[in-house]
Structure 1
Amino acid sequence: MSAIDVKDLTVAYHKKPVLMDVAFSTPKGKLMGIVGPNGAGKSTLIKAVLGLIPKASGNVKILGEGYSPKNKKVGYVPQRGSVDWDFPTNALDVVLMGRYGHVGWFKRPSKKDVEIALDCLDKVGMKEYSDRQISQLSGGQQQRVFLARALAQDAEVYFMDEPFVGVDAATEKAIIALLNELKEAGKTVLVVHHDLQTVKEYFDWLLLLNKKTIAVGPTEEVFTSELLQKTYGGKLTFLDQSTIVTQ
């Protein structure tokens, strides 16, 4: 059984297709990158899979079942820019939101839940900021808090929408180390990613997307100049094997 199976997924805004017949399968325990040009539908794909936006057609299964927002086995880290960081709450409370699937929305978190939340903050280097209002945190710190919230959920499959955007090098290094820990623990992680220079270093499974599936599979097989040019419409320049420039 695959962790994620998507078949014939189409999404349209105002009757204009944004994604067309997207199909891919992700084995369990993979750290998968979703790569494509701006406007390719990468974020839209994640939102459609999670039921956050309506699908025009298609079928989605996560761990062999149709997805429900109540599914405790699925965690989601949205783009940082889509979050209201002025909401009056502190870092610990944000992470405790990840425990609601275990606790229930109308019950108070237990001492154990608080300990788990603090441990997750510690894993991302944010425990000392647990009482800090999220509006007072830097962009990288905010991203770490949202990652801690996903960890607190203790999911089997994680979807992360551009977690490296707007963070410093130290935060990016900490995030990828944590994602690798999740993979080693048998979790499956899907990451919308924009930096082609780090794709081969970060991901062992890859989806090339440009409104439709261009290619999907092991990174060493999919991350080729031919398939990248097909994905980006010829708007790439390969300076050498490790340097790619988008035009």
Structure 2
Amino acid sequence: MSTTPLQISNMSVAYLKKPVLRNVTFEAPEGKLIGIVGPNGAGKSTLIKAALGLIPSLTGDVSIYGRPYAEQRNLVGYVPQRESVDWDFPTHALDVVMMGRYGHLGWFKRPGKAEKKIAMECLEKVGMADFADRQISQLSGGQQQRIFLARALAQDAQLYFMDEPFVGVDAATEKAIITLLNELKMQKKTVLVVHHDLATVKEYFDWVMLLNVQIIAFGPTEHAFTSAKLQETYGGRLTMLDHDNRSALLIDTR
């Protein structure tokens, strides 16, 4: 089996004939936290959805550890944008997390005690064990995000896609998420994260992709995340501010 978790070649996607991704080609290294950064409409979420076959692409090949995604689904975990989920669906937190085990069970085998035990352990890891029997509609935004992270953990994947996991969560949840991501990295798992907060990119990610319809830069964060490349990506002037020893990046697109 190939040791490359994700390889995408010449991926192009268009909506109503408007290019959203153009000739995207890259290989994701194993055991890295990779941030996907770019302006609104840059194609960040589209890249993830096209890689997972959730939307069609005009061109492009996707391989997971050297084989097509359709043959490697059990190796891939996905955390969608919270806004894309129907949180009014009548189900409990534990049931959502156990959905992550279905890929290991097959369609016709019902989850049993072993799967429930794994699901509870995953809820424990994200600090949500006490909410196992709570309806998902009764949870806060941060709690809902933790539930979806627990579901991804229950999949026990090797490659994870996470679409804006830090959006709309409280500081405690953000800290819990980044702790979890680092635990996955220590297990040699690869995580691609669509991310919007430029100020935390250097702190959170080993590698970064700067994307605006096409890849502007991709590589180790210290090399790819530069002022020049950010200005090229966002098409505006960039100002760097220092506050409490943290760099803040402001983009002026006027």
> What TM-score, normalized by structure 1, do the two folds share?
0.97
Q: Deviations over 1:78-134 (max 9, x none)?
A: 000000000000000000000001112222111010000000000000000000000
Match of 1:218 in 2: 220
Q: CA RMSD in A?
A: 1.2
Aligned residue among 192, 195, 201 for 2:194: 192
Could you say what secondary structure the match of 1:242 adopts?
strand
Q: Given residue 10 of structure 1, which amino acid in structure 2 is its aligned partner? A: S
Q: Which deviates more, 90-99 or 106-115?
A: 106-115
Match of 1:245 in 2: 250
**Distance in structure 2 (CA, Å) of the matches to 1:96 and 1:69:** 22
**Distance in structure 1 (CA, Å) of the matches to 2:6 and 2:66:** 8
- Matched residues, percent identical? 69
Match of 1:230 in 2: 232
Match of 1:77 in 2: 79
| Structure 1 portions without partners, runs of 5+ | none
**Distance in structure 1 (CA, Å) of the matches to 2:238 and 2:102:** 44
Match of 2:174 in 1: 172
Q: Deviations over 1:191-247 (max 9, x none)?
A: 000000000000001111000010100001001101111111124322348121123
Say yes or no: does 1:97 pair with 2:102. no
**Distance in structure 1 (CA, Å) of the matches to 2:21 and 2:33:** 23
Match of 1:159 in 2: 161
Match of 1:58 in 2: 60
Match of 2:29 in 1: 27
Aligned residue among 144, 149, 154 for 2:151: 149
Q: Which deviates more, 101-110 or 173-182?
A: 101-110
**Distance in structure 2 (CA, Å) of the matches to 1:100 and 1:70:** 14
Match of 2:204 in 1: 202
Could you say what secondary structure the match of 1:243 adopts?
strand
> What TM-score, normalized by structure 2, do the two folds share?
0.95
The structure 1 segments of at least 4 consecutive aligned residues displaced by more than 3 Å after TM superposition are none
**Distance in structure 2 (CA, Å) of the matches to 1:98 and 1:128:** 19
Q: Is the 8 A contact 1:51 1:69 kept in 2?
A: no
Q: Given residue 20 of structure 1, which amino acid in structure 2 is its aligned partner? A: R
Match of 1:136 in 2: 138
By how many angstroms is 1:179 displaced? 0.4
Q: Is the 8 A contact 1:161 1:193 kept in 2?
A: yes
Q: Given residue 245 of structure 1, which amino acid in structure 2 is its aligned partner? A: L
Match of 1:127 in 2: 129
Aligned residue among 101, 104, 112 for 1:110: 112
The alignment covers a number of residue pairs equal to 247
Could you say what secondary structure the match of 1:135 adopts?
helix
Q: Deviations over 1:25-48 (max 9, x none)?
A: 111111100000111000000000
| Structure 2 portions without partners, runs of 5+ | none
